[in-house]
């Protein structure tokens, strides 16, 4: 059931990262303020829209990889709106019984997801803050859907750069992985400041005026988020290059890096 009380608290004049991401992807679940902020971000980082689409394509490839490895349960943190090509669509095309638990704390995103997922088997959306693992794992949409005695794919797709250093993203991901059995898989994408530091700083400045300040990190700091896992080839690379088609042209601008680690 849609939480109308949460929707009533949405401020349409304050840009939100989830709705800006929807705009980058060409979606319609956004407000004028989101579109204006997104256009400022595009002006500051001209590659941001392509990086967003590359991120979505990486997500699809990573989900297919997980299914191919026998992992058919997914916990998608900060999932955004599950539009065309999202996790359940890709996973259930390969494995009809695949289970997908989406988690987000943005009311418009959650309400839109509830409408889109209505009636679909083995798919839930949970309104929770990903920075609170106890709340996430105790939520009925996660607790009653995922079988934690079997491997789970933990998806942190373009979400951890909204967790500040003070909120300790390293400890956060370690907490999530500690609740998963060996054979689980952690799929990660994260914005980096390493290749275009001036552009990254400009983008951070724009997001500081939204509900979700962004924290770009170095490739080394992003790699550390997968410490304790067995890094899957080809390691930490640009989103467009992870197990991409042979002959894929390397990106000119790199602002989003990805990696996949197996939990042992």
Task: Note the pLDDT tens digit of each residue in 118-143.
Answer: 888 899 999 999 999 999 999 999 99
Residue 1, pLDDT above cutoff 70 = no
User: Over 60: is that where the pLDDT of 189 sits?
Assistant: yes
Residue 99 has pLDDT above 50, yes or no: yes
Q: What is the distance between the alpha carbons of residues 258 and 96, in angstroms, rounded to a whole number?
A: 27
- pLDDT attached to residue 9: 65
**Banded model confidence at residue 64, pLDDT cuts 50, 70, 90:** very high
* Neighbouring-strand partners of residue 185: 153, 262
Q: What does DSSP say about strands 185-191 and 123-127: parallel, antiparallel, or unpaired?
A: unpaired
- Residue 33 is inside which H or E element, if any? helix 32-44
Predicted pLDDT at 36: 97
Long-range contacts of 41-46 (CB under 8 A, 24+ apart): 41/203, 41/206, 41/207, 44/199, 44/202, 44/203, 44/205, 44/206, 45/196, 45/199, 45/200, 45/202, 45/203, 45/253, 45/255, 46/253
**What is the average pLDDT score of the chain?**
92
Find out whether 131 and 163 touch, Cβ atoms under 8 Å: yes
Q: Does the structure show a pLDDT above 90 at 247?
A: no
* Sequence-ordered strand ranges (E) for the chain: 73-77, 99-104, 123-127, 153-157, 185-191, 229-231, 237-238, 256-263
CATH of 52-197+214-263, one of 3.40.50.10860, 3.40.50.150, 3.40.190.10, 1.20.1530.20: 3.40.50.150
Domain boundaries, the chain: 52-197+214-263
- Residue with the bigger pLDDT between 167 and 252: it is 167
The Cα–Cα gap between 114 and 216 comes to 30
What is the pLDDT, as a whole number, of residue 67? 98
Of 20, 46, 54, 25, nearest to 196 by C-alpha is 46
Nearest CA to 155 out of 239, 225, 77 is that of 77
- pLDDT value at position 85? 73
* Main-chain phi, psi angles of 178, to 5 degrees: -65, -20
> Residue 245: CB partners within 8 Å, gap ≥ 6?
none
| Region of poorest pLDDT, from 5-19, 28-42, 62-76, 204-218 | 5-19
- For residue 54, give the nearest of 261, 263, 252, 196 by alpha carbon: 252
- Residue closest to 87 by CA, chosen among 187, 234, 204: 187
């Amino acid at each position: 059931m849609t939480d109308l009380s949460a929707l009533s608290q949405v401020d349409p004049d304050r840009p939100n990262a989830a709705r800006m991401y929807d705009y980058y992807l060409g979606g319609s679940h956004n407000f004028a303020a989101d579109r204006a902020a997104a256009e400022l971000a595009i002006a500051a980082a001209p590659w941001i829209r392509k990086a967003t689409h590359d991120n979505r394509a990486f997500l699809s490839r990573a989900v297919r990889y997980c299914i191919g490895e026998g992992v058919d349960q997914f916990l998608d943190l900060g999932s955004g709106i599950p539009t065309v090509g999202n996790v359940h669509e890709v996973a259930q095309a390969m494995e009809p019984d695949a289970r997908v638990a989406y988690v987000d704390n943005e009311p418009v995103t959650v309400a839109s997801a509830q409408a889109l997922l209505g009636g679909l088997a083995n798919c839930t959306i949970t309104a929770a803050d990903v920075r609170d693992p106890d709340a996430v794992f105790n939520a009925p949409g996660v607790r009653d859907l995922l079988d934690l005695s079997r491997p789970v794919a933990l998806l942190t797709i373009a979400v951890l750069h909204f967790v500040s250093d003070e909120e300790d993203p390293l400890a956060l991901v370690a907490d999530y992985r500690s609740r998963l059995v060996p054979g689980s898989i952690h799929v990660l994408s994260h914005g980096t400041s390493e290749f275009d530091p001036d552009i990254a700083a400009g983008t951070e400045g724009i997001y500081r005026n939204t509900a979700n300040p962004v924290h770009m990190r170095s490739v080394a700091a992003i790699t550390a988020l997968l410490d304790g896992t067995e890094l899957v080839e080809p390691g930490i690379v640009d989103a467009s290059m992870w197990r991409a088609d042979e002959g894929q042209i390397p990106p000119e601008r790199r602002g989003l890096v990805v990696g996949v680690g197996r939990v042992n």
